[in-house]
Structure 1
Amino acid sequence: MSDFETKAPGVHLLEVPAAGPIAGAGTSTAALIGTVAGAVAEEDLGKAKLVTNWTAYVDKFGALDEALSLPHAVRGFFENGGTMAYIVPVADMSGLDGALRALTRTLDVSIVCLPGQTEFENQQKVITHCEGMGDRFAVLDGARNDKDPSDTGPLLTQGGHLLTDRGFGALYWPWISVKNPKPPPAEPKLVQVAPSGHIAGVMARSDNLRGVHKAPANEVVRGALDLEYHLNDAEQSVLNNANINALRAFPGGPPLVWGARALASKTEWRYVNVRRLVAYISDSLLQGLRWAVFEPNNTALWKALERTVTEFLTRVWQAGALFGRSAEEAFYVKIDEELNPAPVRELGQVFIEIGLAPTRPAEHVVIQLGLWSGGGRTGEA
């Protein structure tokens, strides 16, 4: 029986579900693939398991092991502000393909790490996975020459092989020095470990404090007591031009992330934060517009979609992620008959065109310095 059959004749108010505002997708959940110290059942290899702190990781997968990169990476992730991580244990890199397939069903992942693995064939697989998913970013370790850390030839070769048009990954170098968990009496108290897990934590921290639009650079790497190699400005310039991100330690200060370049061959995807921002916006729209599926494909739907997307992008602009003095300068949303002619509508399709003007990092702050004789400046009264 309808509610109206029980009411007196007249005008009635009926509340109906409406398209609500789009909620932003998560950006800081990491997936880390590698070998763990503890025993793992055969059926659990290659399966993603969620942990939310270092203690939970140790309980499931065992403690630190100097010979393994993954445990140090996980601890570094949580030390630097990460809060959610999927651990994908593998016996060796032959299990990487299965691990990446498992992550296609783990939809809240937004950062993928392969700690300590610097073979570009394996790293390319991770980048290809991230590009195919469209909602995640690969954080990778630069090749290490422990006999001569100043030799960056292998690193530059690695970076060149990993460049893609769309830039769904970034490479970080050098490796970092952390406390050795079990130093023998005559051995150093520091051990060199891959930085990717720590960098993923820095990204999570920066996202939570400033937003995904802020380049995760000029940020302290917590837990890093030193760097395996100290770059000078000229050496970093070579790496930066090759889209490789440096870790630096300036006099009296802790190790910092000092680069924000993505492994992109095209200028528009040069920066880590631009690639991750667009992935965030895309993922948020995909999740937030599901209500429109199977709705009548007419101008009323188009207007509702336009309003919903515009409201979301206005919030993104107000957060400082898009460049422009007004929302109109920062983005546009187009959904009309030009994009959706009758043949398109007959196929059950709706096309929305969106243009974005993302903010880019001030990578070079230029100071114009000259000598002045004093007195009034030219043109002053």
Structure 2
Amino acid sequence: MEKIKNPGVYIVEENAFPSSVVEVATAIPAFIGYTEKIPAAGADGLLRISSLREFERWFGGPADYRFRIRKATGEGDKSRSEADKKEERGEKLAKFDMHLNLIGDKEAYYVSRVGTVFRLYEAMRFFFQNGGGACYIISVGDYKDQIRDERLADGLRRLENEPEPTLVLLPDAVSLDTAEAFYSLCRKEIAHCGQMGNRMAILDVYQGYKAFQNPAGEKSVVDRFREGVGTESLSYAAAYYPWLETTIVQESELSFQNLTDDSLALLVEMISGELALTDHPENELESEAVRKERVLSMVKQLPDYTSAVVNSWDDDQDTFGKLSPANLHRTLLAMSQSYKALMGLLQKYLNQLPPAAAMAGLYTLVDSTSGVWKAPANLSLNSVMAPSVPISTEEQEYLNTPLDGKAVNAIRSFIGEGVLVWGARTLDGNSNEWRYIHVRRTVMVLEQSMLAAVKAYTFEPNQAATWITVKSMLENYLTQQWKMGALVGASPLEAFSVRVGLGETMTDEDIQSGIMRVSASVAVNRPAEFIEISFAQPMQKT
């Protein structure tokens, strides 16, 4: 108050309440990967969006889905050249060399995807399907590039200057050429989260579509994952297995245009064999035979539908005496079971997705409906039909409680309940403090919220009045958290404690050095992960 010089009555307003703590955001994922286009807007290539439409506006759509059909020449598919193998290196296709034999026992065909498999766009669709909201996108390249771990690691560096993201995901990492490159990137991602202290990594298992137990006696994909992720900052990461069979990519998004030009001739052979007009019953309607002949003639023109020509045609209008691509596609679906099965095979492949993006959406959903202190488990996933690998109870035990503590959360299918997330552990499963995902995330939110609030008292007098104000402010915030259910205890005294003051958290030397130390202890709730019900039959009393 300024010095009073004139007699009279003066009103002085004083703050009756301490400053309040504003809680930081709890589930803001950051996705790092490759996109169709790279927007010029955004600091350091980073942009905040809140919907799939907004993502498409700034970053474009999916990469080109391109598949090749090859005729089998014997055991294994020896027809594939070294050039083909090199072209397909973006995806290990052992499981995606899909056998298609729908024309009797005469011929067999294999279908595989060619080109680099970019996954960020499908991950965004999966994220928003499962409750996702605001998130950050860092584009490290476009679809003309090859997926490189150095580029994705650079995206982590660019994320260091943004304090809001609380989750980090690298959807394109599982498409790296080697498992070693993937695990190296995982270690960098976990180290980034541990260094920042305000975010967690959600990890996929490399080749997580493979069976849990390897019949050849080799290490399983889960064992290799545990060995590869290292030992540092494991409480800042959670992993999920297996991959999921989804419905993200719709049937309407695929046609013969997704086949390579050299595959169209084989497609003609496949469908022609099915529609060959021989040995028709005498009572077969002539109109049906004529219809098949007409379709067959159209099929023989498929090699003319190269991508360069198709893209110049109207999708709905027939041109130059030929059916438009859309009309021909619909006709083939109606007339050819082989073609319909082929399209279903392509759709099934594209819909086998890693689960991390869906889990980021579930984290967001749980935080908005229950709170960050609720374990993100025993929840169903949207747009999911089944896990790619069924998990038994015995296998779940090994995933959940391994000797090294690196728990991998299982996604399982239960009769009458659907597909559920059946695990809530970090990779630091042997730690009594940081075993559970929601405990780590709750503490991060409390830490960052209190840190931001106390920062306002930097350069304030390091004296009792300041200490009391800070203590009151933090106690009010933690009391609110206790009332909402984030902290356990019959009373606030049992749920938390805040200490600050000379002789309590500070010494005379601390005060002389300009250091104010605040100590807070909280009791975060733990989940009822194992529920035991005991039954007893007492003896009859007469």
Does the TM-score normalized on the shorter chain lie above 0.5? yes
Q: Which has the larger displacement, 114-123 or 78-87? A: 114-123
Are 1:45 and 1:88, in contact at CA under 8 Å, matched by a contact in 2? no
Residues 72 and 370 of structure 1: is their aligned pair in 2 closer, same or farther, counting only changes over 3 Å? farther
Instruction: Select the residue among 252, 258, 281 that pairs with 2:422.
Output: 258
1:31 aligns with 2:27: no
Secondary structure of 2:136's counterpart equals strand
Instruction: Select the residue among 19, 42, 52 that pairs with 1:54.
Output: 52
Are 2:208 and 2:242, in contact at CA under 8 Å, matched by a contact in 1? no
Residues 321 and 33 of structure 1: is their aligned pair in 2 closer, same or farther, counting only changes over 3 Å? same
Are 2:26 and 2:445, in contact at CA under 8 Å, matched by a contact in 1? yes
1:225 aligns with 2:225: no
CA drift at 1:267: 2.2
Gaps of 5+ in 1: 377-381
Aligned-partner residue type, residue 51 of structure 2: N
Match of 2:336 in 1: none
1:210 aligns with 2:210: no
Q: Which has the larger displacement, 25-34 or 41-50? A: 41-50
Q: 2: distance between equivalents of 1:74 and 1:39?
A: 15
Q: 2: distance between equivalents of 1:72 and 1:332?
A: 45
Secondary structure of 1:139's counterpart equals strand
TM (normalized to structure 1)? 0.90
Secondary structure of 2:171's counterpart equals coil
Instruction: Select the residue among 96, 113, 117 that pairs with 2:169.
Output: 113
1:71 aligns with 2:121: yes
Match of 1:131 in 2: 194
CA drift at 1:357: 1.2
Gaps of 5+ in 2: 66-116, 142-146, 175-181, 256-339
1:285 aligns with 2:348: no
TM (normalized to structure 2)? 0.64
Q: 2: distance between equivalents of 1:147 and 1:97?
A: 26
Q: Which has the larger displacement, 55-64 or 326-335? A: 55-64
Query: What is the number of residues matched between the two proteins?
Result: 373
Secondary structure of 2:45's counterpart equals coil
CA drift at 1:310: 0.7
Superposed counterparts of 1:359-374, under 5 Å: 359-371=525-537
Match of 1:170 in 2: 238
Q: 1: distance between equivalents of 2:512 and 2:234?
A: 32
CA drift at 1:320: 1.1
Aligned-partner residue type, residue 345 of structure 1: I
Match of 1:21 in 2: 20
Are 1:213 and 1:276, in contact at CA under 8 Å, matched by a contact in 2? yes
1:351 aligns with 2:487: no
Secondary structure of 2:452's counterpart equals helix
Are 1:46 and 1:89, in contact at CA under 8 Å, matched by a contact in 2? no
Aligned-partner residue type, residue 69 of structure 1: R
Q: 2: distance between equivalents of 1:31 and 1:337?
A: 42
Are 2:190 and 2:233, in contact at CA under 8 Å, matched by a contact in 1? no
Secondary structure of 2:173's counterpart equals coil
CA offsets per residue over residues 236-271 of structure 1, 9 Å max, x none? Answer: 110001311011110133321110000114221000
Q: 2: distance between equivalents of 1:159 and 1:64?
A: 31
CA drift at 1:280: 0.4
Are 1:51 and 1:57, in contact at CA under 8 Å, matched by a contact in 2? yes
Aligned-partner residue type, residue 273 of structure 1: H
CA drift at 1:78: 1.4
1:329 aligns with 2:490: no
Are 2:39 and 2:59, in contact at CA under 8 Å, matched by a contact in 1? no
Q: 1: distance between equivalents of 2:119 and 2:138?
A: 13
Aligned-partner residue type, residue 439 of structure 2: V
Residues 104 and 18 of structure 1: is their aligned pair in 2 closer, same or farther, counting only changes over 3 Å? farther
Match of 1:379 in 2: none
CA drift at 1:127: 1.1
Secondary structure of 1:219's counterpart equals coil
CA offsets per residue over residues 111-158 of structure 1, 9 Å max, x none? Answer: 111125252211111111111111111111122254545447221231
Instruction: Select the residue among 479, 494, 497 that pairs with 1:314.
Output: 479
Residues 334 and 253 of structure 1: is their aligned pair in 2 closer, same or farther, counting only changes over 3 Å? same
The CA RMSD over aligned residues, in Å, is 2.5
Instruction: Select the residue among 206, 213, 218 that pairs with 1:143.
Output: 206
Aligned-partner residue type, residue 40 of structure 1: I
Secondary structure of 2:202's counterpart equals strand
Aligned-pair identity in percent equals: 28
Q: 1: distance between equivalents of 2:473 and 2:43?
A: 42
CA offsets per residue over residues 47-106 of structure 1, 9 Å max, x none? Answer: 211111011111222223463221121112212112101111123321123211221121
